[in-house]
Structure 1
Amino acid sequence: MMDQAQKLRQIIDNLKVRDAVALDNPVGVKEKNAKVITVTSGKGGVGKTNFTINLAIALSELGQRVTILDADFGLANVDILLGIVPKYTLVDVLYNRRNILEALTDGPKNIKFMSGGSGVEELVKLDGTQLEKFVNNISLLDKLSDVILIDTGAGLSDSVMSFVMAADEVFLVTTPEPTSITDAYALIKMVSNRDNNKIIKVVVNRAENANEAKDILNRLSIVAEKFLAMKLYPLGFVPQDESVIKAVKMQQPFSLSFPKSDAAKQIKEISRRLMEGNADITNRQESGIKGFVRRLVNLMNA
């Protein structure tokens, strides 16, 4: 009976995957890959995960299908900030215990997220056949998502840098604190040593006002261009806001709990700017999550 039950579950899983692909890829419609964006920071405690979640919600409200991959394997926080406990993680997908649809957890406003667990450490242990199977499995995210936001760990570890270099582009979160700005510059410098054409968009979190944020963005841009020959792109800012602290305690995104707050307004402004001024989100031609995973594994094995 157990064998029959397992076979039945496998058949149902395959049907789910097939139906999901069919729904998102009607006959005659050109297939598109998701835009893979790594959200990172030079140090911890800058509000990176909170920014990621609320940006995902804002993009979803503008019609984008958004998936978050929590790749902070030491201290995963997406589920905590959302107050949702995922049943499965990336590790379950790696070892074919669950398909990608089962590992995805529904979040607010139609966003989806997946906890990485200890996935990166396990990913590099896969042999060629296992890796190919995993890549084919996770590539379903390209059919289900327009944007995939990868929330990395903080700091300058090899693991974080691999995620940064494998992504289509990078959103770098800093705060006005001198240590945060210094660490952000250190990350930019490490990226420039590998590829100074990498697209890095900088957001200042917890800024006192627009002028302070603008000053920080300008200073970082000038220094990066002068000493690293690297162009940075200002993404915007999120102001210091008591609503954010209250929402964290409630385990709810501040853009939903306090939609009229200054922080929520700025997140929506950033998402609008990304959609209006950034053709690479709406007309993407990148290699999606499939290409991202291949690059990531190559970087981690280098």
Structure 2
Amino acid sequence: MMDQAERLRQIIDNLKLRQAVSQANLLNNMRKKTAKVITVTSGKGGVGKTNITVNLAIALSEMGKRVTILDADFGLANIDVLLGIIPKYTLVDVIYDNKNIFEVLSEGPKNIRFVSGGSGVEELVKLDKVQLEKFLGNISLLDKLSDVILIDTGAGLSDNVMSFVMAADEVLLVTTPEPTSITDAYALIKMVSNRDKDKKIKVIVNRAESANEANDILNKLSIVTDKFLELKLEPLGYILQDEMVIKAVKMQQPFALSFPKCQASRHIKDISSKILDVKNDKSGMENTGIKSFVSRLVNLLNT
């Protein structure tokens, strides 16, 4: 017969085994965990793209998501200006100065983080295979820190911007009611459709005078895109013209923090909810994470 001491040893051994399996599963899930990478872009400058990126990050963070912004607008990097924070390092320091990704992350309000791209992405195409793999291993740590990574691109239809658009899990396209802005937004959609008709493009109308005006633009853009480009747009929402937004920019603070009850803040929260609404996400596409994003980006930049 098994004595009491032997039974106790078996119980302890079984407990240790269950704990080991549990830890292994947890580590395995952590390894598989990847962030949703969203490129925020526009067909032309001056539509409020960067302001939307920052406030979207705030809103997503308030909904319990860990958010990191990569400022990839190399010509007019404005994330730091809107937040009133001067970053000490950029991605260039990760590439050449042996800084790790944690050292170049700047802390923003509401626990959001941001990384200044500097000329980092342009430098990536110069790296050899070993250097690139080292960088990819470093930046992949952002997947462990983030649920959502927002990439704020430059405006326009340059090759660099299009590479960011095509590399992302999904695209958030910002336009305004101005005819030139709508025309340039359609031009960007057309360029995407020529490369990948399955690419997810979600559209926001900024600075609309009314909900009717915004919805009219979203509907017309969706109908024309579907008919002539065979690409399905997803209208994500709109932000109405709001004086509080201008005041917040002058204060170098996100309007979602300075004026949380203004209509622009309410609209950005609605948009955030739609982004996180997995049930209504018809794509069924898995998040591929920042490492895969950068790998695709480098390949696109090299072609």
Question: What TM-score do you get using the length of structure 1 for normalisation?
Answer: 0.89
What is the identity, as a one-letter code, of the residue corresponding to 2:188?
Answer: L
Distance 1:203 1:170 in 2: 11
Listed one character per residue, the Cα deviations across residues 35-83 of structure 1 (whole Å, up to 9, x for unaligned) are 1100000000000000000001100000110000000011100000000
Q: How does 1:1-302 map to 2 (within 5 A)?
A: 26-27=26-27, 29-30=29-30, 31-277=32-278, 285-302=286-303
1:75 aligned counterpart, secondary structure: coil
Alignment RMSD: 1.6
2:214 aligned counterpart, secondary structure: helix
Distance 2:121 2:28 in 1: 36
Contact 1:90 1:103 in 2 (8 A): yes
Listed one character per residue, the Cα deviations across residues 177-235 of structure 1 (whole Å, up to 9, x for unaligned) are 00000000000000000001100000000011111110000010011011101100001
What is the identity, as a one-letter code, of the residue corresponding to 1:238?
Answer: I
Listed one character per residue, the Cα deviations across residues 141-160 of structure 1 (whole Å, up to 9, x for unaligned) are 00000000000000000000
Distance 1:286 1:274 in 2: 13
Listed one character per residue, the Cα deviations across residues 85-139 of structure 1 (whole Å, up to 9, x for unaligned) are 0000011011143110010000000000000001121111111110000000000
Distance 1:290 1:200 in 2: 21
C-alpha displacement of 1:286: 2.5
For structure 1, the residue ranges without an aligned partner over 5 or more in a row are 1-24
Contact 1:46 1:205 in 2 (8 A): yes
Contact 1:35 1:284 in 2 (8 A): no
Distance 1:278 1:115 in 2: 33
Rate the CA distance shift 1:77–1:191 in 2: closer, same or farther, 3 A: same
What is the identity, as a one-letter code, of the residue corresponding to 2:299?
Answer: N
Listed one character per residue, the Cα deviations across residues 4-45 of structure 1 (whole Å, up to 9, x for unaligned) are xxxxxxxxxxxxxxxxxxxxx954645310011000000000
Contact 1:72 1:152 in 2 (8 A): yes
Q: Bigger CA drift: 86-95 or 269-278?
A: 269-278
2:86 aligned counterpart, secondary structure: coil
Instruction: Kindly tell me the number of residue pairs found equivalent between the two proteins.
Output: 277
What is the identity, as a one-letter code, of the residue corresponding to 1:90?
Answer: L
Q: Bigger CA drift: 211-220 or 91-100?
A: 91-100
Q: Bigger CA drift: 25-34 or 110-119?
A: 25-34
For structure 2, the residue ranges without an aligned partner over 5 or more in a row are 1-24
What is the identity, as a one-letter code, of the residue corresponding to 1:138?
Answer: I
Distance 1:74 1:114 in 2: 15
Q: Which structure would you say has the larger Rg?
A: 2
2:183 aligned counterpart, secondary structure: helix
2:276 aligned counterpart, secondary structure: helix
Rate the CA distance shift 1:246–1:123 in 2: closer, same or farther, 3 A: same
What is the identity, as a one-letter code, of the residue corresponding to 2:248?
Answer: A
Listed one character per residue, the Cα deviations across residues 238-276 of structure 1 (whole Å, up to 9, x for unaligned) are 110000000000000000000110000100111122223
2:299 aligned counterpart, secondary structure: helix
What is the identity, as a one-letter code, of the residue corresponding to 1:131?
Answer: L
1:259 aligned counterpart, secondary structure: coil
